[in-house]
Structure 1
């Protein structure tokens, strides 16, 4: 039980900001996939619409994180890292978090539908998927990770719909496989960090084992590399220079596996990416190389 304590205004303000988890908004960069691969990255109108979609996904993501923290507050208090979150630590009360959610959620949805009807539908589905995950699906083995993967797919689809462009099925497949890779990596980290207390923090973890997750990771890793490679081979463009980006994808996946197995990290993909310099440099090189190939060759 968290003891009552006097919290300053600035501590509260910081708590509300942390409740929205801005560090995790890096996941919403998937919204820009359609913009880049459709060849409109330097088109001001398309860029503005996609950036707006990105911000809307950040708002709805904040709603999801607030909801998760409200639902999981007791479990978070028993977690070695999550116990420092605003609600679990007592900086923000559950009632204050509910009020924040009641204000932010309608605004996010209304703004999404105002920008684009179909984007609004996607963002609504995104929230409902996360709501079902928080209440039900997170207790279903395998489907819990697939639900997380669906969130990444919806980001890519939303980015395509807001600028009305075609998105290659290969991009959707690669996104699905990569997000499954990240999801199973997260589960593995939870098993490793929490050990014998794993199922008390997240009940679904009793359905997983390191051996089972390692098998799943082997499948999605190989599938991701194959899918991305086939995409570069069958690119709509007449050249095959995108094949030059395959080494970056290989290194990125191998580096992430190194982080998972050797450093025993990877529980938070966004923190892993932002804290690992070689991985950040590799992603930047992949982005730059892809843009040069797609736009200047």
Structure 2
């Protein structure tokens, strides 16, 4: 693959190509497993394999989305103080042609995936189309940009349910929507607080106080809908409500006191308490629901 700049070692180039896929962001595709967890089938080998395959295809799709976005934003990123050195394309380590080859390979994998999981791939196609619209138009529209990001998480949940031949839970979808809106609003808040309105054009139409209110409303909605869901459909999971509440509190602490949150994935991976509460929540759900069905 052609590299735009010389002087880079083979190791640097391989790392850049891997970084182009944004593997750290694959953590977001954990939402694909939500229907599996709440179905009580986490210990079912076949169900786990189906959900894992759906998550794999979503990882390929999300990586493709990031590559398209990086190609589209390459000129803007080259003028950005951080992205000009951290993004493989903007920094020049990886050429645009190389990125297009990787992108084509990802789309081939997804096309082959249609032969295995056609219904799941159709959900992923909807995700891809939504993100193309986001890259070229919607990310410049205030409020719509945040909702577009959040809907992508809802589609992950729908893909997970589809992989297991389950009807997507309305409770699960609306809870996911609120939680994703919370994370997206916090991300915008931190971008504004740390970089002002220079990082994204849409930030010129936001203020820190406005996105703070969006985040507070969304977090409240996520907690409320999750609590109503477990109390009405999964009473045994009432014990997980404090874990969810602690997670929301801790994430806001990471944002406010530790100046994190511009990347929800980085905030999660960097804070052991957030990681611990997620693991504990999953473990509790698996233990409690192991004999239940969605």
Query: How would you bin the TM-score normalised by the shorter chain?
Result: over 0.9
* Aligned position for 2:58: 57
1:174-253 pair list within 5 angstroms = 174-195=175-196, 198=197, 200-235=198-233, 237=234, 240-253=235-248
- After superposition, the Cα gap between the structure-2 partners of 1:244 and 1:80, relative to the gap in structure 1 and judged at 3 Å, is farther
Cα separation, 2, equivalents of 1:49 and 1:234: 28
TM-score, normalised via structure 1 length: 0.93
TM-score, normalised via structure 2 length: 0.94
Mapped contact 2:37–2:282 kept (Cα < 8 A)? no
* Aligned position for 2:95: 93
Q: Give 1:104 deviation, angstroms.
A: 2.1
Mapped contact 2:65–2:131 kept (Cα < 8 A)? yes
Cα separation, 1, equivalents of 2:113 and 2:290: 30
1:273-292 pair list within 5 angstroms = 273-292=268-287
Mapped contact 2:187–2:263 kept (Cα < 8 A)? yes
Mapped contact 1:192–1:264 kept (Cα < 8 A)? no
Q: Give 1:6 deviation, angstroms.
A: 3.0
Cα separation, 1, equivalents of 2:159 and 2:18: 25
Cα separation, 1, equivalents of 2:46 and 2:110: 22
Cα separation, 1, equivalents of 2:132 and 2:168: 27
* Aligned position for 2:105: 103
Higher relative contact order (CA 8 A, sep 6+): 2
Q: Give 1:85 deviation, angstroms.
A: 1.4
Could you say what the CA RMSD is over the residues aligned between the two structures, in angstroms? 1.7
Q: Give 1:232 deviation, angstroms.
A: 1.3
Q: Equivalent residue of 1:234, what SS? A: helix
1:163-178 pair list within 5 angstroms = 163-178=164-179
Paired positions, count: 289
* Aligned position for 2:254: 259
Mapped contact 2:74–2:90 kept (Cα < 8 A)? yes
1:66-85 pair list within 5 angstroms = 66-83=67-84, 84-85=86-87
